[in-house]
Amino acid sequence: MRLYPFIPFVVLFHLAGRLDLMAQEDAPLLEIWEMSDDIDSLYNQIMEAHPDPFFFCSPKKLQQTYYAVCAQLDHPMNRYEFAGIANTLTKLLEDSHTGLDYNQMSALAFERNRRMIPINVITDAERRLIVKNAWDSLVTPGWEVRCINGQDAYEAYLIGLNQYSYTEADAHVSKQRIADALWPLMVANTMVLDSLNTIELEDPITGEVNEITVVAYTSDQYYKIRKERVKKGFYDPFQFKIVGEKDYAYLRVGTFAPAQKQRFRSQIRNAFKEIENSGVHHLVLDISGNGGGSSDNVEFLYSFIDTMGYNTPHNVIGIHSRLSDQRSRLAAKPVIKWLMRTFWANNEDVAGYLKIADLPVGQRDTAYFSTPTVQKKHVFKGDVFLLINGMTASAGVDFTNAFRTRERGIIIGEPCMGPASGTFGNPALYLLPHSGLKFYIATIRYNYDGSFMPLRMPITPDIYVPVLPDDIASQYNCLIEEALQQIEQP
The per-residue pLDDT for range 172-182, each reduced to its tens digit, is: 999 999 999 99
Q: Is the pLDDT of residue 28 over 90?
A: no
Burial of 33 by CB count in 10 Å (0-12 exposed, 13-18 middle, 19+ buried)?
A: exposed
Of 43, 75, 101, at which residue does a domain stop? 101
Of 22, 191, 47, 220, the closest CA to residue 114 belongs to: 191
Contact assessment for residue 283 and residue 383, using Cβ atoms and an 8 Å cutoff: yes
Does residue 282 lie within any of the structural domains? yes
- At 237-280, the pLDDT tens digits run 999 999 999 999 999 999 999 999 999 999 999 999 999 999 99
Cα–Cα separations (whole angstroms), residue 153 to 170, 194, 465: 26, 15, 26
Per-residue pLDDT, averaged over 395-423, amounts to 97
Does residue 261 lie within any of the structural domains? yes
Contact assessment for residue 260 and residue 267, using Cβ atoms and an 8 Å cutoff: no
pLDDT at 8: 29
Q: What is the CATH number of the domain that holds 411?
A: 3.90.226
Cα(447)–Cα(441) distance, rounded to whole angstroms? 17
Per-residue pLDDT, averaged over 412-440, amounts to 96
Q: What's the 3-state SS for 41-61?
A: HHHHHHHHHCCCCCCCCCHHH
For 338, the domain range is: 238-431+441-454
Does residue 123 lie within any of the structural domains? no
Does residue 327 lie within any of the structural domains? yes
Contact assessment for residue 306 and residue 406, using Cβ atoms and an 8 Å cutoff: yes
Cα(167)–Cα(175) distance, rounded to whole angstroms? 6
Of 16, 255, 290, 257, the closest CA to residue 174 belongs to: 290
Does residue 286 lie within any of the structural domains? yes
pLDDT at 13: 29
Of 76, 101, 126, at which residue does a domain stop? 101
Per-residue pLDDT, averaged over 295-324, amounts to 96
Q: Is the pLDDT of residue 326 over 80?
A: yes
Of 88, 181, 172, the closest CA to residue 133 belongs to: 181
Outline where 191-294 has alpha helix (H).
219-231, 261-278
Does residue 163 lie within any of the structural domains? no
Does residue 483 lie within any of the structural domains? no
Both 97 and 242 in a single domain?
A: no
Of 83, 101, 119, at which residue does a domain stop? 101
pTM: 0.91
Residues in CB range of 130: below 8 A, 6 or more apart = 121, 122, 123, 124, 142, 143, 144, 145, 204, 467, 469, 472
Count: domains in the chain: 2
Both 95 and 243 in a single domain?
A: no
Confidence of residue 335 (pLDDT cuts 50, 70, 90): confident
Does residue 20 lie within any of the structural domains? yes
- At 341-357, the pLDDT tens digits run 888 878 888 888 899 99
Q: In 3-state terms, what secondary structure has residue 304?
A: coil
Q: In the predicted model, what is the mean pLDDT of the chain? A: 91
Please report which helix (H) or strand (E) contains residue 151, including its range: strand 151-152
Identify the DSSP state of 418: S
Q: How many CB atoms lie within 10 A of CB 197?
A: 17
Q: Is the pLDDT of residue 24 over 70?
A: no
Q: Tell me the residue type at 35.
A: M
Cα(97)–Cα(90) distance, rounded to whole angstroms? 10
Burial of 460 by CB count in 10 Å (0-12 exposed, 13-18 middle, 19+ buried)?
A: middle
